[in-house]
Amino acid sequence: VVINIAAGPKFTLGDIRLEGDAAGLSGADFGLIAGGDAGSGAVLKAEASIVRALKEDGRPLAKVTAREIVADHATSTLDVALTVAAGPVAGYGDTTVEGTEKVDRDFTEYMTGLKRGRQYSPEEVDEARDRLLGLEVFNSVTLKEADGLDADGNIPIGVEVSERKPRYFGLGGTFSNTEGLGLEGYWGHRNLFGRAEKLRIEGEISGIGSNELTELNYNAGIMFEKPGVVGPASKFFAGANTVLEHPDAYDRFSVKGNTGLSYDLDRQQTVSAEVALDYSKITDSFGKHTFLIASIPLRYVYDNRDNRLNPTTGFRALAYAEPSYDILNGAAFVKLRGEGSAYQSLDAASKFVLAERVVIGSIIGAGLQDVPADRRFYSGGGGSVRGYAYQGIGPKDADGEPIGGLSFFETSFEMRIAINDTIGVVPFVDAGTVSTDQFPDFSGMKVGAGVGLRYITPFGPLRIDAAVPLNPDPDDPDFGIYAGIGQAF
């Protein structure tokens, strides 16, 4: 059997007409341009965008009622005529929920935030879907508008969900030749009392292989979250944890408790505030000290990345302020930190993604000795400047041990190159500096460079990075190897 195929000429768009309630719109605003792409995908995408634009005016029944496509073979053009009916402006009607079993049905309806009578918005419907998925108790969430309005002229909304298993547990690990092996385990419950309350208990051991057995690092904690306490966009959280750690800069034992509230301003913006109390005993270059720190951490996050596990476009910005008071020693200070990361695809298939990160921080109001060693700034290591030891960048004492600083600056650049759907290669450059002054001193900037390998999985990339310091001090390592789950930033 021999099959011969003649593809024929490639058609482009010719005459574009929008009729009906879309007559006042321009096809060019939706990608329908004379001489442009005439593929079926481009036309269908334009139709969806036109309907979406009308729905954003509060018209949930907007739809394309007629489509006329005429191909002119003499000119290889495709004329497109679309007729659109906008329908009336409407508010939300009743919200009905199906598929709940262990999750409270009324609570699920409440968490949509779609208040009866308020004007319909497709963006709000999308936010409601994201909010329900963010509860982490559902495998899937579908929101559908009814085919018609109710007796009051409102649009009923149907919610269909399928629940996840409420209990989960997991094990994880990290490794680097400069920081050793780290192991962690956790157990959690996603729906403790039927309204998506979360309880998580976790523990971690690190420093295996790089520290003596008596100087391993331990971390154990418990966390509780309750969503919807002051509106669907809010979340109450509380936690307690204890830490025993022995990094090069200090030895610390700490017991800390915190409670607070976070609120989603919209799909991209989140603010949070909490109250924390931290009792710690720390031994560092300045001696042995006992602290009782009361603080009020405040945080703002803007995040419009397309994928939080492996972003290809968008950016994330964080602003953090933590006023603190040492009840035992009388010192008061404020810790400030700003961070931004940006991601840009250099091609349509996102085979090449440029990623950049910048972080800056400052502690004001107290001297270096008055700030607990664990609250000072450090740089170096797998999540910082690769190629250098953990906390290895910055001022050191007479024995060559890091003492931390009152300010720091870091930046990173990565070119994430996809070899295929599962394998990627990432050349990168990191730089950072730490200063005992309240503002960064860029004269001591340290730079590391290397290359990494990524294996893409459904739960995030598996990462292996190898880096060398480009301007090392005599005590810095010759190289660093780091392994973990997720992109470096």
At residue 179, the pLDDT reads: 74
Q: Return the sign of the alpha-carbon dihedral for residues 379, 383, 388, 392.
A: positive
Instruction: Tell me how far the alpha carbon of residue 35 is from its chain's centroid.
Output: 40
Distances from the Cα of 133 to the Cαs of 112, 136, 232, 292, 328, in angstroms?
10, 6, 13, 39, 44
Give me the pLDDT at residue 177, please: 73
Domain ranges of the chain: 12-85, 91-163, 167-485
Question: What's the rounded Cα separation, in Å, for the pair 15 and 34?
Answer: 6
Structure tokens at 361: 């921080």
Q: What pLDDT is attached to residue 5?
A: 94
* Per-residue model confidence as pLDDT tens digits over 74-124: 999 999 999 999 999 999 999 999 999 999 999 999 999 999 999 999 999
Q: How far is CA 284 from CA 247, 248, 330, in A?
A: 10, 9, 19
Report pLDDT for 483.
85
CA–CA separation, 184 and 484 (whole Å)? 12
Residue 396 identity (one-letter amino acid): K
State how far the Cα of 333 lies from the Cα of 21, in Å rounded to an integer: 60
Cα–Cα distance, 30 to 24 (Å, whole number): 13
Indicate the fold that domain 91-163 takes in CATH. Ubiquitin-like (UB roll) (3.10.20)
Cβ pair 297, 322 in contact under 8 A: yes
Which pLDDT band holds residue 338 (cuts at 50, 70, 90)? very high
> What pLDDT, on the 0 to 100 scale, is given for residue 458?
82
Q: Are 37 and 31 spatial neighbours (Cβ–Cβ below 8 Å)?
A: yes
What is the C-alpha separation between 209 and 187, in angstroms, rounded? 26
Task: Choose among 200, 234, 375, 366: nearest CA to 297.
Answer: 375
Mean pLDDT of the chain: 93
Q: What pLDDT band is residue 444 in, cutting at 50, 70 and 90?
A: confident
Q: Could you tell me the CA-to-CA distances from 412 to 199, 355, 356, 438 in Å, in that order?
A: 35, 8, 6, 22
Cα→Cα distances 310→6, 22, 58, 203, 353, Å: 41, 38, 34, 26, 10
CATH of domain 12-85: 3.10.20.310
Asked if the domains at 12-85 and 91-163 fall in one CATH topology, the answer is: yes
pLDDT digits (tens, 9 = 90+) for 204-237: 999 888 777 778 999 999 999 999 999 999 999 9
Determine phi and psi for 46, rounding to 5 degrees. -65, -40
Question: Would the pLDDT of 306 be above 70?
Answer: yes
Q: Which residues contact 134 (CB under 8 A, 6 or more apart)?
A: none
The CATH topology of domain 167-485 is: Porin (2.40.160)
pTM of this prediction exceeds 0.85: no
For the cut 70, the answer to whether the pLDDT of residue 178 exceeds it is: no
Do 173 and 384 meet the contact criterion of CB atoms below 8 Å apart? no
pLDDT at 298 over 70: yes
Residue type at 355? A
